[in-house]
Amino acid sequence: MKLNIAILPGDGIGPEIIEQGMKVVRAVCTIFGHELHARTALVGAAAIDATGHPYPDQTHQLCMESDAVFFGAIGHPRYDNDPSARIRPEQGLLAMRKSLGLFANIRPIVTFPSLIRQSPLRAELIEGADLVCIRELTGGLYFGRPQGRSEDGNTAYDTCVYTRQEIERILRLSYGYAQKRRKKLTVIDKANVLATSRLWRQIAREIEKEYPDVETEYMFVDNAAMRLIQCPKSFDVMVTENMFGDILTDEASVITGSLGMLPSASIGLHTSVFEPIHGSYPQAAGKNIANPIATILSAALMFEYAFNLAEEAEVIRRAVAASMEAGVATEDITREGKAYTTSEVGDFIRQLL
């Protein structure tokens, strides 16, 4: 099979973790006899430096011509510390999502038995946890207009906007995932306060009748944040709006023991994007200490969702689990024994494959 992949390393640790992910992708393609075509493009701060835009036209063109996008991270401290900057790296990520029509972010959260003790949560709470968070990706506060600041700079405002069409398509996608799993969907909102959440709940009540085989529960986001820590095994598939999903999935990283363990797939109208959920971690850039596991697991999602190659995806996940059992891990999830470097973890998993 021919695999046509656009590689967007991005900023910070992005190039290092993508390098490890591509070691695994190339190994799997060799093992299974796939023909790999991979091309690289700029995004984020690196793209601003080179072209003046965080998501250049040539990058978008490459993404549109590809079957999948393998993405690292976006962000640079010089923009974080300059609130007056008109162009920011993160705008590139938002532009990519909007341009590619990526309306759904799929984030599986699964515990590895060998890492149960790495989580700050008690083992009995998280052992066997296996859930999927589906985050709406192109609406809400991150895209709502108007957005800005007053002339004197002392007032700032954002607008949360959702349409029926945006809510319906993410809910139907989520019900589809629930049907393939344990047939339970949790719709998370803040319907007691927000008008947009009340629209979410109204539409969900309408749509749930079409999926009688799925148990639907409704939960306010503050309660969901508490339940995610108290009883993560009570969730199967959860669906929520953009900002709530951003926050809840980062919170869920404590279940796995590290933000560096969580992969994601962003899917929609055009080319799908596969990326780790963590940021660019600029403090670690170039030090060869970043955890590449989330990126490698994102490669597994890419084989599964972009190319419908489930066996290849499972082989990657088994190799990752074996590396964890062998104690080959970076410093963020190593409490005893040797901490391995980013490249050593990538090389070990490639050798396992």
End-to-end CA distance of the chain: 19
CA torsion angle 9 10 16 22 (round to 10): -10
Catalytic hit among 157, 222, 287, 338: 222
The residue among 1, 6, 42 whose CA lies nearest residue 272 is 6
Catalytic residue list contains 190: yes
The dihedral region occupied by 184, where left means phi > 0, alpha psi between -120 and 50, and beta the remainder, is beta
Is the Cβ–Cβ distance between 75 and 11 less than 8 Å? Answer: yes
The residue among 14, 21, 20, 32 whose CA lies nearest residue 76 is 14
Catalytic hit among 80, 130, 158, 250: 250
Using alpha carbons only, what angle is made at residue 95 by residues 280 and 71, rounded to the nearest 5 degrees? 40
Catalytic residue list contains 82: no
Classify 46 as helix, strand or coil.
helix
Tell whether omega for the bond before 56 is within 30 degrees of 0, i.e. cis.
Answer: no
Catalytic hit among 175, 246, 305, 340: 246
Catalytic hit among 23, 55, 79, 142: 142
Residue 349's φ and ψ, nearest 5 degrees, are: -65, -35
Q: Classify residue 338 by its DSSP letter.
A: P
The residue among 33, 70, 63 whose CA lies nearest residue 301 is 70
Report how far residue 153's alpha carbon sits from residue 325's, in angstroms, rounded to the nearest whole number. 53
Catalytic residue list contains 250: yes
Sequence-ordered alpha helix ranges (H) in the chain: 14-32, 45-51, 57-65, 77-80, 89-100, 123-126, 164-180, 195-207, 221-230, 242-251, 253-256, 293-301, 310-325, 342-352
39 has which bridge partners? 6
Dihedral of CA 210/211/215/217: which sign? negative
13 has which bridge partners? none
Active site residues: 142, 190, 222, 246, 250
